[in-house]
Amino acid sequence: MARNRILVVEDDESINKVIVKNLTAAGYAVFSCLDGEQAAKAVSRDTDFDLALLDVMLPGIDGFALLGILRHAEIPVIFLTAKNDVESKVRGLREGADDYIVKPFEVLELLVRIEKVLERTGKLRQVLEVGPLTINLLERSVRQDGEEIPLKPMEFDLLVMLAKNKNIALSRERLLHGVWGVDYQGETRTVDVHIAQIRKKLGLNEQIRTISKLGYRLEDA
């Protein structure tokens, strides 16, 4: 299955770059625009986007106007807003945005929200590809160069979380909460043990990198 295509409309060049870099690293196909007109043009040519990240304050056609166009093209929208007031959030959601995220935002939070919206709208890819690995979420199977490798449930979930955020480091706490749940009382060593297992079973010593002071990162190659 092809990668999820995401339209990014953000007028601040630096923020735009950050978003594009991280989404690309995490395995999304990204089309980026710096203003509303460009975005409107892009959508008029090609409506095959799974999601749009949309800044509210845009020069030219503003976020709310663009929202109408995107809704018309049936593209789910996450609002990026610097305004942390209820009014603009409510307006965004009422006019059909699927979610919003307030600046300054955390990159990982952005990835989670994108994933949730894709999941809700049924557009989330069910097959993840990381280097030689093919992870099928529906079958809950992992294939390495076409050969299925059995993993325990927790190992599989951990691998999926790393794969969904590939090329981006995740802390041990985040992995622990994400896989074992927020109520889990265990220690972060649990994560280390499972990582060791995955590395051994899949031979991913190089690809799953330990990032000092932070955690782990699954890399493409």
Partner 1 sequence: MRLWLKVSLIALILVVLATGACSLIMLIRSGESNLALSVENTLTNQQVRAASWSTAMTSELDSQYTDVARRSLARYLIAKFAQGNTILLSGADTIYNSTSIDPKDYLPITAGSQQYVVAEINGRSMLLAGSQITIAKTDYQLYAVSDITPVYTGVETMAYQFALINACILALAGGVLMLLLRAVLRPVQTLQKNTAYLASGVYNRRIEILQDDEIGELAADFNRMADAVETHVRALKEEAERRTMFMSALTHEMKTPITGISGNAQTLLGTKMTEEEREDALIAINNECLRMERLSQKLMQLIVLRQGGEMERKPASVSDLLENVYASATGLIHQRGLTLHMQNEMGTLTMERDLLASLLLNLIDNAGKASRPGDTIEVLACGNVISVRDHGCGMPREELDKITQPFYRIDRSRAKKAGGIGLGLALAEEIARLHEARLEFESEPGIGTTVKVVFEYDS
Residues that bind partner 1 (CB under 8 A): 11-15, 17-19, 21-22, 25, 34-35, 57, 59, 82-83, 85, 103-108, 167-170, 211, 214, 217, 219-220
Burial of 62 (0-12, 13-18, 19+ CB in 10 A): middle
CB of 98 to partner 1, least distance (A): 21
By the 8 A CB rule, do 188 and 176 touch? yes
What DSSP element (H or E) covers 54? Answer: strand 51-55
CB of 16 to partner 1, least distance (A): 10
CB of 40 to partner 1, least distance (A): 16
CB of 214 to partner 1, least distance (A): 6
Q: Which two tokens stand for residue 101?
A: 């995220």
Q: Both ends of the chain: CA-CA distance in Å?
A: 20
Backbone region of residue 181 per phi and psi (left: phi > 0; alpha: psi in -120 to 50; beta: other values):
left
Complex with partner 1: residue 84 or 185, whichever CB lies closer = 84
In terms of DSSP bridges, do strands 127-130 and 133-136 run parallel, antiparallel, or are they unpaired?
antiparallel
Complex with partner 1: residue 148 or 220, whichever CB lies closer = 220
The CA–CA distances, whole Å, from 74 to 96, 97, 208, 216 equal 10, 11, 37, 36
CB of 187 to partner 1, least distance (A): 22
Complex with partner 1: residue 166 or 194, whichever CB lies closer = 166
Complex with partner 1: residue 142 or 218, whichever CB lies closer = 218
Say whether the peptide bond before residue 104 is cis (omega within 30 degrees of 0): yes
CB of 39 to partner 1, least distance (A): 13
Distance between CA atoms of residues 187 and 190, nearest Å: 6
Distance between CA atoms of residues 167 and 87, nearest Å: 36
Complex with partner 1: residue 85 or 187, whichever CB lies closer = 85
Q: Quote the DSSP letter at residue 90.
A: H
